[in-house]
Structure 1
Amino acid sequence: MMNALDLSNGQPYLLDASIVAARAAMLENSHMPKPDNDPPTYAALLALKPDDLALGRWASEAKLARNYFNDLRGHGNPGEETLRKLLAVIGKTMADYDREKARIAGTVLSEVESIPGSARSVFHGERLPDLEVRGTAMGGEFGDLDSDIELTELHMDEVIDRVARPIALANDPRAYALRIIGDSMAPRFKPGERVSVNPKATVSIGDDVIVQLRGDDGNDGERIKMVLIKELVRFTSTFVELRQHNPSTVFRVERKRVAHIHVVRANYF
Structure 2
Amino acid sequence: MRHDDIWRAIDTLAAERGLSTSGLARSAGLDPTSFNPSKRRAEDGRLRWPSTESIAKILAATGASFDAFAALVRGSRSLAHSRMERVKRSTIPLIGLAQAGQDGFFDDAGYPAGAGWEQIDLPSANAGLADDPLAYGLTIQGDSMEPVYRAGDVIIVSPSAPVRAGDRVVARTRSGEVMAKLLARRTARRIELASFNPDHAMRAFSPGEIAAIHRIVWASQ
Shorter-chain TM-score category? Answer: 0.5 to 0.7
The match for 1:199 among 152, 156, 159 is: 159
Which structure 1 segments of 5+ residues have no match? 1-108, 139-151, 216-224
Tell me if 1:265 matches 2:217. yes
Q: Give the number of the structure whose alpha-carbon radius of gyration is greater.
A: 1
What displacement does 1:211 show? 1.1
- Unaligned 5+ segments in structure 2 are 1-15, 20-61, 70-77, 107-113
- Aligned with 1:266: secondary structure? strand
Choose the corresponding residue for 1:240, options 191, 211, 217.
191
Cα RMSD after superposing both structures:
3.0
Q: Using the alignment, how far apart are the partners of 1:114 and 1:186 within structure 2? A: 45
Quote the Cα distance in structure 1 between the aligned partners of 2:143 and 2:18.
Answer: 36
CA distance in 2, matches of 1:131, 1:237: 33
Matched, 1:255 2:211: no
Return the letter of the residue paired with 2:213. Answer: I
Name the CA shift for 1:256/1:111 in 2 (closer, same or farther; >3 Å). closer
Once the two structures are TM-superposed, the CA of residue 249 in structure 1 deviates from its matched residue by 2.7
CA distance in 2, matches of 1:232, 1:167: 25
Pairing partner for 1:189 from 149, 155, 159: 149
SS of the residue 1:167 aligns to: helix
Runs of 4+ displaced beyond 4 Å: 109-113
What is the match of residue 134 of structure 1? 95
Quick check: which one's strand share is greater?
Answer: 1
Q: How does 1:219-230 map to 2 (within 5 A)?
A: 225-230=176-181
Give, as a single letter, the amino acid of the residue that structure 2 aligns with 1:128.
R
Residue of structure 2 equivalent to 1:160: 118
Find the counterpart in structure 2 of residue 209 from structure 1. 169
% identical equivalent positions: 26
Decide whether the 8 Å contact of 2:122 with 2:129 is kept in 1.
no
- Structure scoring higher RCO (CA < 8 A, sep ≥ 6) equals 2
Query: Could you tell me how far apart the structure 2 residues matched to 1:253 and 1:111 are?
Result: 32
Provide TM-score, normalisation by structure 2.
0.52
The 3 A distance-change label for structure 1 pair 110 and 255 is closer
- Deviation at residue 162 of structure 1 after TM alignment: 2.0
State the SS of the aligned residue for 2:219: coil
